[in-house]
Amino acid sequence: MTISPTQITGSPRGSVPGQGAIVLDSVTKFYGDRLILDSIDHVFEAGSFVSLIGPSGCGKSTLLRMIADLEPVTSGGVRIGSRTPAEARRDHTMSMVFQSPNLIPWRSVRRNVELPLEAMGVDRDQRRRLATAELDRVGLGQHLDSHPSTLSGGMAQRAAIARALVSDPQIVLMDEPFGALDEILRERLNYELHTLWASTGKTIVFVTHSIAEAVALSTDIIVMGRNPGRIHAHLPVDLPRERTPELADTSQFFELTTEVRRLLASAS
């Protein structure tokens, strides 16, 4: 297999992206007089699963939060299809999963998952039906009336993913959602997440520090450098669409992880 990372020099401006696409146009971020992200240009294609990987402090989470309309952009622009991030957030075109599940402790699992639907004004019976179906899909159908304090870390994160998916967003942003889990559980949830993505066709942007996780999940990997944060390279992941744990034992997987490691070293 020949691996050909693409150095990022710009994005196809003037093109009309799909409604599940994310377009970054010279996105720059300052905190005070400190430059955090410098002129980021990129297009996340609709239906792709893209991992952002880079050293701590390179601005991965900040970039994700700007896409999510949780951080202001200092200069440049972000488009979610034809919408602004604020418009996409308000009409539930996108949702976000954080490092912590952030479940409300006094609500049952189902009522936690219903929260986005409540914000959308969906009636009670439909909320219950949709939340139950989403929890079934992530394997929590037997825990609808449980409270967050009774869930394991992996179960709580599954509930957070169900909450992110229940409003049927086109885009899901994920900020190291499995970073606090043990390696065995993390690997299992990785493949479960990939199966969910493959069955829904959503656009997922996934922040991680794990090279193996990025390769196992992604259609594309964005390698970032720091001081200030920039996109260093874009690596398409030429692996079968169906991902299984056995894939980690193949030469293709090894070559890709080696290339990501090399790109990270050259970006530092």
The model's pLDDT over 185-206, given as tens digits with 9 standing for 90+, comes to 888 888 888 988 998 889 999 9
Q: Which helix (H) or strand (E) holds 156?
A: helix 153-165
Instruction: Count the neighbouring beta carbons within 10 Å of the beta carbon of residue 224.
Output: 24
pLDDT for residue 85:
94
CA angle 133, 136, 139 (to 5 degrees): 155
Q: Which residues of the chain have pLDDT under 50?
A: 1-16
The whole-number pLDDT of residue 5 equals 46
CA 9 – CA 111 distance, rounded (Å): 45
Alpha-carbon gap, residue 117 to 128, rounded angstroms: 9
Tell me how far apart the alpha carbons of residues 194 and 218 are, in angstroms, rounded to a whole number: 8
| 116, two tokens | 């986005």
Domain definitions of the chain by residue range: 102-168
What one-letter code names the amino acid at 31? Y
DSSP characters over 67-122 = HTTSS--SEEEEEETTB-HHHHHHTTSEEEE-SS----TTS-HHHHHTHHHHHTT-
pTM higher than 0.75, yes or no? yes
Let me know how long the chain is. 268
| Whole-angstrom Cα Rg for the chain | 18
Report d(CA 72, CA 81) in Å as an integer: 18
